[in-house]
Each structure stands twice: as C-alpha cells, then as structure tokens.
Amino acid sequence: MSSKTSGCLIALLVLALVVSLGLNLGQVMGKMDIDWGDGVIHPTAHPKKKLSETTVQEAAKTTRDKIVHIDLDGIISSMEVSGFFAEAMPSVDSIKDALEQASKDKDVKAIVLRINSPGGEVTASDILYNAVKKAAKEKPVVVYMDAMAASGGYYVSCGATKIVASETTLTASIGVIIETLSYHELFGKVGLGMQTFTSGAFKDSLNGARPMRDDEKAYVQNLVTQMYDRFLGIVSEARGVPKDQLKNVADGRVVTGRQALEAKLVDQIGYVEDAYALARELGKAPDAGVVKYRREVSFFDVFAAAKAKQGQQAKVQLDVGGGLLPKLMPGVPYYLPSTYAH
C-alpha cells in the first residue's frame, strides 16, 4: 500500500472519529441546558427524552390510532439500571416515563401493560400501582398477566382498567413478607459476639446476632399487618370485592389464572392478543396498531455507566445470578411469594 493511500485512510479514520465524538457531544449537550452567565457551567433542567417506537402490529392505513404495549418484567425494584441493561431490566422510572408518554400522546387510544413479575419491594410496587392508576384516568389500561403476576405484580395490576390472565398464569399471593437472618447460635459456637449501642430499644430489632424479644416480634408483625391491610384495601376497591370475602384467597397463596377469575381477581382469560383486542374495544379504536417503546442507548450512556463502575472499590465477589437481579435485603418489606425471599 502506498504512503499516499495510507495517509488518506488515516485522514478518513480521524475524520470519522471527530464526527462520532461531535455527535455524542451533541447528545450530551442535548441532555442539559447550559448557563454561561458567570463564566461557570450550570446544567439546568431539560425535558425528558422521548421514547422511540417499534411496531408490533400494523394499523389500518386509514388511521393513526395506536395501542402502546409496555413490559414489566422481573422483580420490581427501585434499583437503577443503566447502559445496555436498561432496556432488558426496566426500572420504576422507565415504566413511569412510558406510561406518562402514552397518556399524553393523542394517537394512543389505550395501553397494554404486560406483567411477568413475582412482585418486589413494597414502595416500588406502590409507586407503579399509582402510576398505572393515574394513566388509567386518561385512557384505558389493560394488564396482561404473563407467566406470573404475583404479590407486587398483582398489586400493580390493581391500578388498571381491566385485567387479562392466561389459564396458566400464577397470580395473587396477596401478602407482605419481611425476613432477617438469625446467626446468634453460630456466633456462640465459634466464639464470636457483637456489641451494639443503640438510642432506643427497637433500633436493632432485626439484629441477627441476638435472639429477638417478644415485643420486637410484635412490633415487626404490626408493620407487616399494616402493609397487608393497605394491600387488601387496594384489591378490595379495585375488584369490588369485600375484604372479608377476599381473605378466603388473600392469605399469601398463589393461584392460577382460572382460579383468579373465579375469585374475581381478574376480568377474563386469554392471551396477549386478547388484551390487544380488549384495549382496542375500550379505546374505541378497532383499527389501531400496536407499538412498543424503547429507549435509545447512546455512547455517552455506556461511557457514563463504565465510569461509574470504574469508580467503585475493587472487590472479589461470587455472584451466581450474573449481577442482573436485585439482591433481596434483610429487613426490607416485599410483596413477594415466600419462595422468592430465600
């Protein structure tokens, strides 16, 4: 290869690199407004980035009407996931953003929220329930329960206009769980102990280094009971079933879609296509297409995630879950089947 040709290739590569950096810098600058008034950079608030659309089912050529399909997969957690995994593991904020965008889009006539989740954190589930209920005030929201929509997954479903479940869906598991690890007997065997100084009798109530007192057990159980009563009240209001009647099934058990229909926990049995059909009916848009939202991941997002990872303290850790699932924390209240809390 001649030196002239090599020089041209190097120049093209440099030009491509400059263009790429310029585009990514533009994306970064687009995420913030800059105030240079005093010679110092001051980032200011900027509108949320609009989610892109992918067509699932084509609409009739004569209409712009559409149904938005939103996925809620996995354990519901307040954990933030960035970079490439943000699309695979939607966070509470990303689901809220999708519901908000669909609610404001005049061409969107209804929303289908597909849930495949065993539940999750109490507060995260409650936030999503509220977001779904808020969206349902603007336009119909149909929840489609996939393989599982249990506990917190069912809690979120209660904000919807209608609920569709498969025959084989596992749902309900209406209840609350808090657990902690007790290791004081092990400490005694190996000659270890823990000295704890607290400002009050209940400050270290879930300390596994010592046995729990009876008043502590009653205190934690009261917390669980209060959260359960709220869960039961929300289900009762959403499904129009008295609390006393609900208690026949709301004891933490998981039920099938057919059993849920018999208990009035869902509205019909079907598949996701039936949820689309119901959404078109409720939204009075028989020819509407179906679209999914997706969030564009820029070079800056990946770079920022890599820098954040780089800044963490190095440590050796064995994680059979691949680091993709949120870790359940002792003492944190969850809407989860008991099998997921171990």
- Which residues form the catalytic set? 151, 203
211 lies in a domain? no
184 lies in a domain? no
219 lies in a domain? no
Residue 301 to residue 281: CA distance in whole angstroms = 39
151 lies in a domain? yes
pLDDT at 88: 46
Question: For the chain, how many structural domains are there in total?
Answer: 1
Q: Which domain holds residue 290?
A: 52-174+249-341
Do residues 168 and 116 lie in contact, with contact meaning Cβ atoms separated by under 8 Å?
no
269 lies in a domain? yes
pLDDT at 26: 53
Instruction: Specify which residues 55 forms β-bridges with.
Output: 291
| pLDDT higher than 50, residue 322 | no
| pLDDT higher than 50, residue 321 | no
140 lies in a domain? yes
6 lies in a domain? no
Give 19-84 as a 3 state SS string: HHHHHHHHHHHHCCEEECCCCCCEEECCCCCCCEEEEEECCCCCCCCEEEEEEEECCECCCCCCCC
Token code pair at residue 2: 């001649």
Residue 342 to residue 340: CA distance in whole angstroms = 6
Between residues 105 and 314, which one has the greater pLDDT?
A: 105
Considering only CA atoms, which of 104, 108, 103 is closest in space to residue 132?
103
Token code pair at residue 263: 């208990």
What CATH number does the domain containing 314 carry? 3.90.226.10
Residue 161 to residue 149: CA distance in whole angstroms = 16
Question: How do residues 109-128 score in pLDDT, each as one tens digit?
Answer: 999 999 999 999 999 999 99
284 lies in a domain? yes
Token code pair at residue 265: 């926990």
**What is the model's pTM?**
0.78
Question: How do residues 8-48 score in pLDDT, each as one tens digit?
Answer: 667 777 676 666 666 555 554 554 444 545 555 555 544 56
pLDDT at 69: 98
Do residues 180 and 208 lie in contact, with contact meaning Cβ atoms separated by under 8 Å?
yes
The mean pLDDT value of the chain amounts to 83
* C-alpha distance from residue 237 to each of 54, 183, 242 (Å): 35, 41, 8
Q: If you search the block for the tokens 């879930």, which residue do you land on?
A: 206
Do residues 171 and 165 lie in contact, with contact meaning Cβ atoms separated by under 8 Å?
yes
